[in-house]
Amino acid sequence: MSFQYDIITRAGGINVTSAMDEAYPRMHLDQLAELDPSFIFYCGYNLEYLEKMMENPTWRSMQVFETGQVHRFPCELTCRFGPRIVDMTELLHKKLYG
């Protein structure tokens, strides 16, 4: 499993890809829509990415867009293993549980 998986678990979340064998699984959008996650976080600075996702009917069919639980986190927290994973875990927990 990836360190991101560990962060999700420690923050009190459930990774919808936990049944997959790969640490960094790739899946088609239709597969993700079938899992219908209640929370999505992604890394990056591209603010247009979320807007582009919202234009896709498959993305819009998921409950996560109705509830507004799509969150962008900085890559410094989500993509690099190191001491700041504690910050990421705390931030993710706060987003998940308020």
Residue with tokens 């993710």: 92
Q: Is residue 19 part of a domain?
A: no
DSSP string, the chain: --HHHHHHHHTT---TTTTSSSSS----HHHHHHH--S-EEEE-S-HHHHHHHHHSHHHHTSHHHHHT-EEEE-HHHHT--STTHHHHHHHHHHHHH-
Q: Is residue 21 part of a domain?
A: no
- The domain that holds 38 is classified in CATH as 3.40.50.1980
Q: Is residue 22 part of a domain?
A: no
Q: Report the predicted TM-score, pTM, of the whole model to 2 decimal places.
A: 0.81
- Domain range enclosing 41: 3-12+28-97
Rounded distance between C-alpha atoms, residue 78 and residue 2, angstroms: 11
Q: What is the pLDDT of residues 55-94, one digit of tens each?
A: 889 988 999 988 989 888 888 888 888 888 999 999 999 9
Q: What is the pLDDT of residues 31-60, one digit of tens each?
A: 999 999 999 988 877 778 778 878 889 988
